[in-house]
Amino acid sequence: MDDPPPKGPEAVDLAIKRALVTRLFRHPAWVRLVAGRRETVRGRQVHPAYAALASLEKLARRIGPAGPRTPTSERRQLALGSWTVDAEPPTGVYGEDLTLGSDGELPTSIRLYTPQNVRSQPGPGLLYIHGGGWVVGSVASHDVLCRRLALGTGFRVASLRYRLAPEHPYPAAFDDARRGFQHVVAHADRLGMDPRRIAIGGDSAGGHLSALVANALRDAGPFLQLLIYPGVDLTQSFPSLRDFGQGYVLEAEKIDWYLEQFVPPDVARDRPDVSPWFEPDLAGVCPALVYTAGFDPLLDEGEAYARRLTEAGVAVTYRCFEDQIHGFANMAGAIDVARAAVDTITGDLRSALEGSAS
């Protein structure tokens, strides 16, 4: 279910926060003031905009301490946050909600984004799977990002609605992602896509699900995988979880909570169909675009997974945005360096899609 827009006092509060954030990030001197002293970790510092954002979050917690953490409260918090820092959708993209499938099977619900500059004949497309720790997030929370991807590439993007934990724990989201990709391929003509040239991608948990689908459907699967700060090791074995697990918006304690909601106690987290990192043989997996953030608890696993794909003979484009944090792709409306990073990702994706179209 998509997040309902705010009303009444909530709408007023959101409008005030959006105005303050927008004005703050237009003035670098203000940003540096709010950011305060930045710690050097692994020889680098986080961009002042993200340090300022973290300071504002700390201040908000002091003013109004959060209540008990529940899926409902976390979903609303993410929705309001996305409307605050990436609220203005780009023009020139048409969105349409569609249902795909056939009798006797669970249907697939998507929002199809068609840019005005799209080619008339069927062309490459992308199935996008939103992030949010498998618990929060929605098509609505990633609407602006998907519009940016569609407009920047000139190709259609289908954003997937999938079942969330804890109401629907693993493997529900994986099943929905795999079936969703197969439905998009089966209905490619209706969507204006070439079934042989459909990519799959997502951010964070969506990157995790995209990698699982790419591994599972090697013979008749996506021709490209787009992984934006993906979580690929659900056993949490990489050191960046410790180095960047506090003070950079996404914190280790929240990741633990997400995983508790998503993975049932009787499911081993080192299974290859749970954690892509533990897939023993990555040969034959489709080419990958992999992106990480330098101040992200998931940094090391994303970088290591890109390296393993390369060693397996997979064509990989890998970039680390060293001064950025987890979630930057949803902050492009307010933070210039986030917008620049999204533009880079979109450019890489456009080149990959255009190459497949030639």
Q: Mind telling me the catalytic residues? A: 204, 296, 326
Rounded to the nearest 10 degrees, the angle between the axes of helix 48-63 and helix 336-357 is: 120
Tokens 């003509």 -> residue? 189
Partners of 226 in the beta sheet? 201, 289
Residues 6 or more apart in contact with residue 26 via CB below 8 angstroms: none
Structure tokens at 240: 């960046």
Q: Pairing relation of β-strands 288-295 and 225-228?
A: parallel
What does the DSSP 8-state code read for residue 278?
G
Within the chain, where are the H helices?
8-24, 28-35, 48-63, 71-85, 143-153, 172-186, 188-191, 205-216, 240-243, 252-262, 299-311, 336-357
Cα–Cα distance measured from residue 298 to residue 230, given in angstroms and rounded to the nearest whole number: 7
Cα–Cα distance measured from residue 106 to residue 12, given in angstroms and rounded to the nearest whole number: 39
The string of DSSP codes covering 6-57 is: P-HHHHHHHHHHHHHHHHHTT-HHHHHHHH-S--EETTEE--HHHHHHHHHH
Cβ burial, residue 232 (10 Å; 0-12/13-18/19+): buried
Residues 6 or more apart in contact with residue 119 via CB below 8 angstroms: 154
Q: Do residues 199 and 127 touch, judged by C-beta distance below 8 A?
A: yes
